[in-house]
Amino acid sequence: MAGEDRAYRAGFACFVGRPNAGKSTLTNAIIGQKIAITSSKPQTTRHVIRGVLHRPDGQLVLVDTPGLHRPRTLLGQRLNDLVRATWSEVDVVGLCLPADQPVGPGDRFISGEIARLRATVIAVVTKTDLVDRGRLVAQLAAVGELGEFAAVVPVSAVTGDQLDTLVDVVTAYLPVSPQLYPDELLTEEPEQVLVAELVREAALSGVRDELPHSIAVVVEEMDRQGDLTRIYADLYVERPSQKAIVIGHRGTRLRDVGIRARAQIEQLLGTRVFLDLHVRVAKDWQRDPRQLRKLGF
Ligand SMILES: Nc1nc2c(ncn2[C@@H]2O[C@H](COP(=O)(O)OP(=O)(O)OP(=O)(O)O)[C@@H](O)[C@H]2O)c(=O)[nH]1
Ligand SMILES: [Mg+2]
């Protein structure tokens, strides 16, 4: 059915869902580059990040957002506000439901909220590589019960299974429109923001409990000369005890974070990287409007 009637489509879509549902991993897999950091800790994403997928028949702009959750801090409230603002601006919303977890009250809440939007709503069953066929079929049935969806697509961002189908489905619901972004642009995010996020991702791995939520990263200075980029970044925590954990015995943990972050940043920038990390305490920043502003929220 290829032919003249396939008009060029362009528009915005975002994946929504509980923290840890796989939204950022899916966004990266579709864009084909790491624009959003991911981790096994809930509430990893804190910024709205746009990535652009270019196809001959259209342009899909994916907006990665934080997971919607019950807020316990001012930061939590701000993140939820960001999510809701994004929902009202996109053409397609993909509700992400992990295949390996029962559909729960959190999913029902989000599903009810998005049903009121002007966007086309589809359901995406994520992480299908983690379950067998029987369990997947049962999950698809449970998702069918959850609400009215224009489509239900099972997908694995890790194996790539069904990714193309998902993109086809989402693109089909975009409006007929001229191109929105120039060719080849993958993301508009400033490099400093992407770099700060990569440092935060490295700092998240291996820390537990409340600590992941307490970490924020700001790039203070970034200076490229030839094939070397010098980066000075501050890693903020909320209490002195957390500072000790992040730095580790004789600085070993922090050194490790620096090594892992540097490898990722070198990939992003395509230059060698000198990375200078400082750990600072910003007391209870998640609840403090002034600190939040300083940290970019
Ligand atoms: N096996 C498997 N794991 C996945 C898949 N997609 C995501 N994950 C894992 O699930 C965890 C959460 O993924 P994220 O993409 O950070 O989840 P998120 O929905 O963006 O989470 P928040 O930003 O916290 O709301 C990570 O450990 C991922 O590696 C998948 O398709 N298969
Ligand atoms: Mg995320």
- Within this chain, do residues 107 and 167 fall inside the same structural domain, yes or no? yes
Which residues share a beta bridge with 153?
Answer: 124
The residue from 172, 201, 234 where one domain ends is 172
126 in contact with ligand 1, CB cutoff 6 A: yes
Give the rounded distance of the alpha carbon of 79 from its chain centre. 12
Q: State the burial class of residue 101 (Cβ atoms within 10 Å of its Cβ: 0-12, 13-18, 19+).
A: middle
Residue 126 has pLDDT above 90, yes or no: yes
Shared domain check, 163 and 20: yes
Of all ligands present, the nearest one to the C-alpha of 16 is 1
In this predicted structure, what is the pLDDT of residue 85? 92
How far does residue 198's CA lie from ligand 2's centre (Å)? Answer: 13
Q: Taking a C-beta distance cutoff of 8 angstroms, is the pair 98, 127 a contact? A: yes
42 & 163 share domain: yes
Residue 1 lies in a domain: no
- Does the pLDDT at position 4 exceed 60? no
Q: Is 28 in the pocket of ligand 1 (CB under 6 A)?
A: no
Q: Looking at 139, 172, 205, which one is the last position of a domain?
A: 172
Residue 191: exposed, middle, or buried by beta-carbon count in 10 A (0-12, 13-18, 19+)?
middle
pLDDT confidence tier of residue 33, bands split at 50, 70 and 90? confident
Does the residue 184 lie in any domain? no
- pLDDT at residue 3, as a whole number: 46
The pLDDT of residue 144 is above 60:
yes
- Are 16 and 157 in the same domain? yes
159 shares a domain with 198:
no
Residue 3 domain flag: no
C-alpha distances in angstroms, 242 versus 35, 189, 197, 200?
A: 28, 29, 19, 14
Give me the percent of the chain exceeding a pLDDT of 90: 83
Per-residue pLDDT tens over the stretch 193-248: 999 999 999 999 878 888 999 999 999 999 999 999 999 999 999 999 999 999 99
Is position 183 within any domain?
no
Single pTM value for the model: 0.89
For the segment 44-80, what is each residue's pLDDT rounded down to a tens digit?
999 888 999 999 999 999 999 888 888 999 999 999 9
pLDDT confidence of residue 102 = 96
Q: What three-state secondary structure class fits 28?
A: helix
Q: Which residue, among 166, 131, 129, has the nearest Cα to 151 in the 3D structure?
A: 166
Same domain assignment for residues 253 and 281: yes
- Nearest alpha carbon to residue 198 among 267, 278, 293: 267
Angle between helices 23-31 and 163-172 in degrees, nearest 10: 90
Q: Calculate how far, in angstroms, residue 51's C-alpha sits from the geometric centre of ligand 1.
A: 17
Q: Cβ(186) to ligand 1 under 6 A?
A: no
- Looking at the 3D structure of the chain, how many domains does it have? 2
Q: Based on the fold, state whether residues 47 and 167 are members of the same structural domain.
A: yes
The response to whether residue 158 sits with its C-beta less than 6 Å from ligand 1 reads yes
Range of the domain at 218: 191-294
Show which of 143, 172, 201 is a domain's final residue.
Answer: 172
197 and 129 belong to one structural domain? no
Rg (CA), the chain: 20
Q: Same domain, yes or no, for 27 and 93?
A: yes
- The answer to the question of residue 59 being in a domain is yes
Residue 105: exposed, middle, or buried by beta-carbon count in 10 A (0-12, 13-18, 19+)? exposed
Residue 253 parent element (H or E): helix 252-269
> What mean pLDDT, rounded, does the chain reach?
93
Sign of CA dihedral 277, 281, 287, 291: negative
Q: Do 224 and 166 share a domain, yes or no?
A: no
- In CATH, what number is assigned to the domain containing residue 260? 3.30.300.20
Specify the CATH number for the domain of residue 55: 3.40.50.300
Higher pLDDT, 142 or 296: 142
Q: What is the pLDDT of residue 5?
A: 58
Atom index in ligand 1 nearest the CA of residue 15 equals: 19
CA dihedral 189, 192, 194, 199 (to 10 degrees): -170
The pLDDT tens digits for 274-297 are 999 999 999 999 999 999 998 988
Residues 93 and 196 grouped into a single domain: no
pLDDT digits over 153-174, tens only? 999 999 999 999 999 999 999 9
Percentage with pLDDT > 70 across the chain? 98
The pLDDT of 102-111, averaged and rounded, is 94
Q: Give me the sign of the Cα torsion angle 99, 197, 188, 285.
A: positive
> Smallest Cα–Cα separation from 50: which of 72, 71, 27, 68?
27
Mean pLDDT, to the nearest integer, of 120-135?
98
> Which of the 8 DSSP states describes residue 286?
G
Exposure string of 134-168, with b = 16+ CB inside 10 Å and e = fewer, is eebeebbeebeebbebebbbbbbbeeeebbeebbe
Helix axes 191-204, 252-269, angle to 10 degrees: 140
The pLDDT value recorded for residue 1 is 43
Tell whether 165 and 207 lie within a shared domain.
Answer: no
CA distance 275 to 19: 30
Distance (angstroms) between ligand 2 centre and the Cα of 67 equals: 7
